[in-house]
Amino acid sequence: MKNILDEIIIKRKEAVTQLKQLVPVAAWEMMPAFSKKTKSLKKALQTESNTGIIAEFKRASPSKGIINKLAKVDDVTASYELHGAAAISILTEPEFFKGSNDDLLEVSSALNIPVLRKDFIFDEYQLIESKALGADVILLIAACLTPAQVKNLATFAKQLNLEVILEIHDETELGHICNETELIGVNNRNLKTFTVDINRSLQLGQQIPPGKIKIAESGINKADTINVFKKAGFKGFLMGENFMKEQDPGLAFRNFVNSLHH
């Protein structure tokens, strides 16, 4: 089976190389959002009354193709916030997920909850870009980075006051966890094959060092599943497709939160 992750990384590296030539670091640093105070996802997930849901805006995926091409990013994310999302995740990868930097820029100034930039990050330049676009949190994916790269990028992110979610998928990636990565996401979806198994989070969660904040990612579509994860010590739940596949993602999110409370 072809490795989708490798394909995405090749394309992203080409795009970042081009962007570096067009937009120097100094230009990103002059953008208004670069100097704004960031909001803490860590703090949000530790608030007991919080849903813990990181609600994702995602137009497409490599496994599903177009999920929702009519949804407006500002409407959907405002509805997510209104109905109790702990944070918002914005996919900015353009080719495979049909995301854009404009989506992030548009909502980051309008929302009062933390915004995660979900992309494939491997270069310090992308962290400066993320800050300038208004992100509060960035994602580092263990499957496409070495432990040394994770440590270096997470250290640099902290200098920019960006929080980091380190995403892992199997036992071989536990070694990527370091002092600089306080939020650990366990992806139930294998990024190389895009198959989903929600037991991934439960099995790996037991092996994550104490003191880390655990986030379950992908394949969550029932309130019961969140309760199972909560009992296993998870504080965050990244959900996108479950809402985005509906005609009105904001309404789908509201209904899900209501079922969670009941």
Answer yes or no: 152 catalytic. no
pLDDT more than 70, % of the chain: 98
pLDDT tens digits along 100-156: 999 999 999 999 999 999 999 999 999 999 999 999 999 999 999 999 999 999 999
CB atoms within 10 A of CB 47: 11
Q: Is 187 in the active site? A: yes
- Residue-range domain boundaries for the chain: 4-261
Annotated catalytic residue within 217, 235, 241, 242? 217
**235: annotated active-site residue:** no
Q: What was the pLDDT predicted at 109?
A: 92
Confirm whether 61 is a catalytic residue.
no
**Active-site hit among 98, 118, 131, 151:** 118
What is the Cα Rg of the chain in Å? Answer: 17
Active site residue 3: no
Digit-coded pLDDT (tens) for 191-227:
667 778 888 778 899 999 999 999 999 889 899 999 9
Q: Is 58 among the catalytic positions? A: yes
User: Is position 218 annotated as part of the catalytic site?
Assistant: yes
Q: What is the pLDDT of residue 1?
A: 41
Choose the catalytic residue: 101, 108, 187, 242.
187
SS3 assignment, position 227? helix
189 in helix, strand or coil?
Answer: strand
Q: Which residues contact 96 (CB under 8 A, 6 or more apart)?
A: 4, 7, 8, 11, 60, 61, 62
Of 176, 177, 182, 220, whose CA–CA distance to 201 is shortest? 220
Q: Does domain 4-261 have CATH number 3.20.20.70?
A: yes
